[in-house]
């Protein structure tokens, strides 16, 4: 029998109830303030903000413009392209690396080796982004410069951009290894949570170990792996510091007409742009432009977060694993 | 073409679960393995297609001979995969994979055999008829298999195991999670499958063993106590333990 | 009947074997690449960083001009900055996260408020840290928040806005950043408390809040602490917020000496640096371009984070042992 109890009044309980909603307050204020500060540039640029280009020179002009006639028209297509391209390519590499590594950890490696691999992944996840950037600038950038980029190539592309080791590819490599630990951890979780009976079923059909992994475990873990990739994408678009150290700092759109050399185009993703141009922030127009970058990032980040939420909910309540 | 167990002992790590079991199972019969929980009958069943190999620490001595081949002398992975392929296995809980009914049916077939998709579908429909499922679910073939009832899922799993060129069917308490009507349907279809399969079934249900099996073996504490025709075991058991078990006094 | 199919002729064994081998090779190779890259990073940091590591490096303040590569000073204030910022951030985030986690675990009904809260936490987890840094700049430069940083006066000597960059501001931004992650970790810990414990207490007549305080919280202490450590690690590793909201000055800019107990408020209301901003500043990307001290600071930072990780692992192991002992 259940007795309905009279709940006593606890001041601490009410304190808890009130402070629980700080999160809602924070996200609302973030949206309000970012968009408020970005409003002048949104109004001044219109749709050209997304379609136009020339962000780098516009920032320089806005910085020098007189205070009573601020320049508020910016074109961020290069920044958006840089963000999407670097994240997408990094995601492809991270995905390829992560699925394989997760399979090794969950299915192939003997227990002690798997435990070791798992702690390596955890360790990698906790390396600060600035250290990734430092290693990128120290190792990846010179490596690209010395191995792939020749003087002839630099001369050939001088009309378009200055080709150095700081470019799209460097950003992609650095981002890929920053994202990979997240994707590996979530993929491994998903593989671990596939019911053991599926595996036995496969073996009982006379399938080999890897066929069981490939045809039964991976499809069953697909949702978890995709959720990991979505989270990784969110991290990729928002990464500012590490990317700003290796991206080249010029908001160009890599052009397919340059062939494979397009991956050596210097880029400037939105998040990196905020860091790179933050010193010019004392000028209100520049400040507003950087907040516009932030607003675009906020929208993308929210989109990924909602996608992950929707996907995980489906994954959890879809009942795919119910027998 | 019998299945012969010769002096089979088995252990998981330090824990011995089977002691010197010797038994011969005639071809195309239904053979029931009965006994209280933990008596080793499931271990014996899963040893036949070497599924226990997946469990760390499992070790078996003695030999199991199927179709004249010593199973535990197989070293080659391909031989073991072939053995499992020709030995269907039905688990305690229905185990459809997370895909549609039709995909479940053709999955193991396409996995092993060079065949076109229409061929596989045709065969799948034929096998679904064998288990009496086709008419019940013919409009749901592309729906997820987990949407079927438990009994339908189990019959789906039986039909799926018939897709491969199996001649032995191992059943590990296939009806323990099912209601009486589903149980009856499965018992019923076994008599049809028996025509070209040897069926070895672990069961807790002595009545079920009495109803459908030709032979029965009684296990207790990892030892084979008594084996013989079902008629003899249930009407005139030679051992007192067997007598106690089948009359429910244990 | 298919049962008479002739084996061998129809079997796909051969092609399966090749693809299996290729798949295993791929899996092991990717695991090896990830491991190798991780070790390469750690090894590089260790080898490059240990050159400059000395007692002086750890205890001296950085020189204002890191361009002078001969005389860069140490990293004492960045270390202190990292510790300070972590403590401020966690001190703000801990009570709010715990309250949110308790509410979401034990009070959430399918009402609008609870749904909104869970949505807000999810969206917040997707906000890039650089955006949170921008946000803190936008809001805390408001003159009303002068108490968090320092006033900026216009030509006429009137306070027109707050500077908006200080330990307190950056700490608040950090708290917002880690909130969703800490909430998730704590919710998980609270959810793991067996229902029977709580029902037992309720059956004895305790009301809900007392049951949560006396039963659920003590039972999930380990998970809650793990959540806190997770949050601390994130704060220590972040650079974007430090760069924009802490000001990115190498030295403490409050009243000197900054470590004097009389000046504590001034220190917190002014700018400074952490290990991450120090690394960024001295890296080729910043102004310093002084790799050896950057790697020295990176080594110290990674060692601190590894120690934190080890603490979490120990906590987890202790938990496992306790469960097995039951």
- Domain extent at residue A220: 77-317
pLDDT at position A160 is: 76
Q: How far apart are CA A71 and CA A59, in angstroms?
A: 9
**pLDDT tens by residue, C130-148:** 999 999 988 887 777 777 7
Answer yes or no: is C10 within a domain: no
Query: Which of C1, C2, C12 is opposite residue B114, by nearest beta carbon?
Result: C12
**Number of structural domains found in chain A:** 1
Q: Is the pLDDT of residue C69 over 70?
A: no
- When mean pLDDT is compared across B175-184, B213-222, C89-98, the lowest value belongs to B175-184
**pLDDT tens by residue, C235-281:** 999 999 998 888 777 777 766 776 767 777 777 777 888 899 889 88
Residues of A in contact with B86 (CB under 8 A): 206
Q: Cβ contact (<8 Å) for B51 and A211?
A: no
pLDDT at position C4 is: 42
pLDDT at position C202 is: 80
User: Is B196 touching C (CB cutoff 8 A)?
Assistant: yes
Query: Which of C1, C10, C17 is opposite residue B114, by nearest beta carbon?
Result: C10
pLDDT at position A158 is: 79
- How sure is the predictor about C324, in pLDDT bands with cuts at 50, 70 and 90? low
Query: Which of C135, C180, C298 is opposite residue A30, by nearest beta carbon?
Result: C135
B86: closest chain C residue by CA: C3
Q: Is the pLDDT of residue B146 over 80?
A: yes
Q: Is the pLDDT of residue C43 over 90?
A: yes
Indicate which CATH number applies to the domain containing B218. Answer: 3.40.50.300
* Ranges of chain A whose pLDDT falls below 50: 1, 316-323
What does each C-alpha distance from C122 to A21, A55, A305, A314 come to in angstroms? Answer: 13, 32, 6, 15
- How sure is the predictor about C2, in pLDDT bands with cuts at 50, 70 and 90? very low
pLDDT at position C65 is: 64
Answer yes or no: is A21 within a domain: no
Q: Name the more confident of C69 and B46.
A: B46
Residue ranges in chain B assigned as alpha helix (H): 41-48, 77-85, 101-112, 117-130, 134-137, 150-162, 180-193, 206-212, 230-235, 240-246
**Number of structural domains found in chain B:** 1
- Sheet of strand B30-34, all strands in order from the earlier edge strand to the far edge: B87-90, B168-172, B198-202, B30-34, B215-220, B223-229
Residues of C in contact with B114 (CB under 8 A): 10-12
pLDDT at position A321 is: 32
- When mean pLDDT is compared across A37-46, B155-164, C221-230, the lowest value belongs to A37-46
Q: Is the pLDDT of residue C198 over 60?
A: yes
The CA-based angle B77-B79-B81, given to 5 degrees, is: 70
Indicate which CATH number applies to the domain containing C319. Answer: 1.10.3720.10
**Number of structural domains found in chain C:** 1
Answer yes or no: is C1 within a domain: no
Q: How many CB atoms lie within 10 A of CB C219?
A: 16
- When mean pLDDT is compared across A171-180, B227-236, C190-199, the lowest value belongs to C190-199
Q: Cβ contact (<8 Å) for A33 and C139?
A: yes
Answer yes or no: is A13 within a domain: no
C-alpha distance from A322 to closest chain B C-alpha (Å): 7
Q: What is the mean pLDDT of residues B112-132?
A: 89
pLDDT at position A129 is: 93
pLDDT at position A296 is: 94
**pLDDT tens by residue, A128-168:** 999 999 999 989 998 988 888 788 878 887 777 787 888 89
How many residues are there in chain C?
326
Q: What is the mean pLDDT of residues B140-153?
A: 90
Question: In a 3-state reduction of DSSP, which class is residue A185?
Answer: helix
**pLDDT tens by residue, A288-323:** 999 999 999 999 999 999 988 887 665 543 333 332
Q: Is the pLDDT of residue C8 over 50?
A: no
- Domain extent at residue C311: 51-325
Answer yes or no: are the C-beta atoms of C246 and C81 closer than 8 Å.
Answer: yes
Q: Cβ contact (<8 Å) for B81 and A215?
A: no
Answer yes or no: is A56 within a domain: no
R_g (Cα) of chain A, nearest Å: 24
Torsion of CA B101, B106, B111, B112, to 10 degrees: 140
C-alpha distance from B212 to closest chain A C-alpha (Å): 24
Indicate which CATH number applies to the domain containing A184. Answer: 1.10.3720.10
- Domain extent at residue B174: 3-246
Q: What is the mean pLDDT of residues C43-71?
A: 78
pTM assigned to the model: 0.88
Answer yes or no: are the C-beta atoms of A271 and A243 closer than 8 Å.
Answer: yes
pLDDT at position C13 is: 72
- How sure is the predictor about C27, in pLDDT bands with cuts at 50, 70 and 90? very high
pLDDT at position B67 is: 83
Q: How far apart are CA C183 and CA C185, in angstroms?
A: 6
């Amino acid at each position: 029998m259940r007795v309905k109890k009279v709940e006593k009044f606890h001041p601490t309980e009410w304190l808890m109830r009130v402070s629980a909603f700080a999160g809602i307050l924070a996200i609302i204020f973030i949206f309000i303030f970012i968009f408020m500060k970005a409003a002048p540039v949104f109004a001044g640029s219109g749709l050209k903000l997304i379609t136009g280009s020339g962000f780098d020179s516009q920032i320089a002009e806005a910085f020098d413009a007189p205070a009573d006639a601020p320049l508020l028209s910016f074109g961020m297509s290069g920044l958006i392209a840089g963000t999407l391209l670097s994240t997408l390519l990094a995601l492809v590499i991270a995905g390829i690396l992560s699925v394989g590594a997760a399979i090794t950890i969950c299915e192939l490696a003997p227990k002690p080796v798997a435990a070791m691999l798992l702690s390596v992944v955890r360790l990698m996840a906790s390396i600060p982004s600035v250290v990734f950037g430092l290693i990128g600038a120290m190792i990846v950038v010179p490596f690209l410069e010395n191995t792939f980029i020749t003087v002839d190539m630099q001369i050939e592309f001088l009309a378009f951009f200055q080709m150095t080791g700081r470019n799209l590819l460097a950003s992609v490599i650095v981002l890929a290894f920053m994202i990979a630990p997240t994707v590996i951890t979530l993929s491994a979780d998903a593989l671990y949570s596939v019911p053991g009976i599926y595996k036995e079923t496969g073996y009982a059909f006379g399938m080999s170990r890897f066929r069981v992994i490939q045809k039964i475990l991976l499809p069953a873990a697909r949702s978890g792996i995709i959720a990991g990739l979505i989270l990784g994408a969110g991290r990729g678009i928002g990464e500012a510091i590490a990317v700003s150290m290796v991206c080249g700092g010029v908001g160009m759109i890599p052009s397919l007409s340059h062939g494979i050399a397009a991956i050596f185009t210097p880029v400037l993703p939105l998040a990196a742009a905020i860091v790179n141009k933050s010193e010019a922030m004392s000028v209100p127009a520049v400040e507003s432009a950087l907040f516009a970058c932030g607003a675009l990032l906020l929208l993308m980040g929210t989109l990924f977060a909602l996608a992950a939420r929707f996907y995980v909910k489906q994954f959890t309540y879809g009942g795919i694993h119910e027998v | 073409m019998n299945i012969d167990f010769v002096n089979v002992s088995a252990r998981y790590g330090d824990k011995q679960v089977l002691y010197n079991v010797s038994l011969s199972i005639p071809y195309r019969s239904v053979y029931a393995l009965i006994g209280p929980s933990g008596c080793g009958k499931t271990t014996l069943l899963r040893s036949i297609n070497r599924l226990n190999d997946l469990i760390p620490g499992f070790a078996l001595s003695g030999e199991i001979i199927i179709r004249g081949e010593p199973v535990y002398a197989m070293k080659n992975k391909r031989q073991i995969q072939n053995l499992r392929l020709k030995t269907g296995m039905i688990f305690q809980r229905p185990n459809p994979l997370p895909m549609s009914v039709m995909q479940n049916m053709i999955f193991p077939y396409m996995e092993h055999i060079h065949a076109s998709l229409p061929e596989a579908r045709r065969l799948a429909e034929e096998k679904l008829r064998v288990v009496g499922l086709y008419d019940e679910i013919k409009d749901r073939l592309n729906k997820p298999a987990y949407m079927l009832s438990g009994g339908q899922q189990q019959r789906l799993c039986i039909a799926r195991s018939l897709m491969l060129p199996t001649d032995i069917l191992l059943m590990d308490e296939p009806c323990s999670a099912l209601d009486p009507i589903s149980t009856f349907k499965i018992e019923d279809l076994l008599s049809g499958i028996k025509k070209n399969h040897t069926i070895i079934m672990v069961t807790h249900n002595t009545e079920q063993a009495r109803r459908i099996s030709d032979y029965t073996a009684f296990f207790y504490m990892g030892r084979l106590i008594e084996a013989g025709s079902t008629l003899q075991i249930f009407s005139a058991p030679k051992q007192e333990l067997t007598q106690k078990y089948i009359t429910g006094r244990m | 009947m298919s049962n008479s199919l002739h084996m061998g002729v129809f079997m796909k064994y051969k092609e399966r074997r090749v693809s299996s081998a290729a798949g295993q090779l791929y899996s092991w190779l990717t695991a090896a690449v990830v491991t190798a890259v991780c070790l390469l990073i750690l090894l590089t940091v260790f080898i490059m960083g240990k050159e400059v590591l000395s007692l002086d490096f750890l205890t001296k303040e950085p020189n204002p001009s890191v361009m002078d590569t001969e005389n860069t000073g140490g990293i004492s204030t960045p270390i202190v900055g990292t510790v300070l910022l972590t403590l401020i951030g966690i001190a703000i985030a801990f009570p709010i996260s715990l309250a949110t986690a308790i509410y979401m675990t034990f009070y959430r009904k399918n009402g609008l408020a609870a749904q909104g809260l869970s949505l807000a936490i999810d969206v917040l987890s997707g906000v890039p840290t650089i955006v949170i840094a921008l946000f803190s700049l936008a809001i805390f430069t408001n003159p009303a928040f002068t108490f968090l940083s320092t006033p900026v006066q216009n030509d006429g000597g009137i306070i027109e806005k707050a500077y908006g960059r200080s330990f307190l501001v950056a700490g608040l931004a950090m708290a917002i950043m880690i909130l969703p992650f800490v909430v998730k970790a704590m919710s998980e810990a609270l959810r793991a408390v067996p229902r029977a414990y709580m029902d037992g207490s309720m059956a004895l007549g305790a009301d809900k809040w007392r049951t949560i305080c006396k039963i659920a919280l003590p039972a999930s202490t380990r998970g809650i602490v793990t959540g806190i450590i997770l949050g601390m690690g994130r704060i220590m590793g972040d650079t974007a917020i430090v760069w924009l909201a802490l000001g990115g000055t190498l030295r403490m800019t409050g009243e000197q000496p900054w470590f004097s107990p009389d000046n504590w408020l001034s220190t917190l209301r002014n700018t400074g640096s952490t290990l991450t901003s120090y690394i960024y500043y001295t890296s080729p990307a910043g102004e310093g371009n002084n790799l050896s001290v950057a790697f020295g600071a990176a080594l110290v930072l990674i060692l601190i984070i590894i120690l934190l990780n080890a603490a979490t692992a120990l906590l987890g192991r202790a938990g496992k042992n306790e469960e097995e002992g039951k």
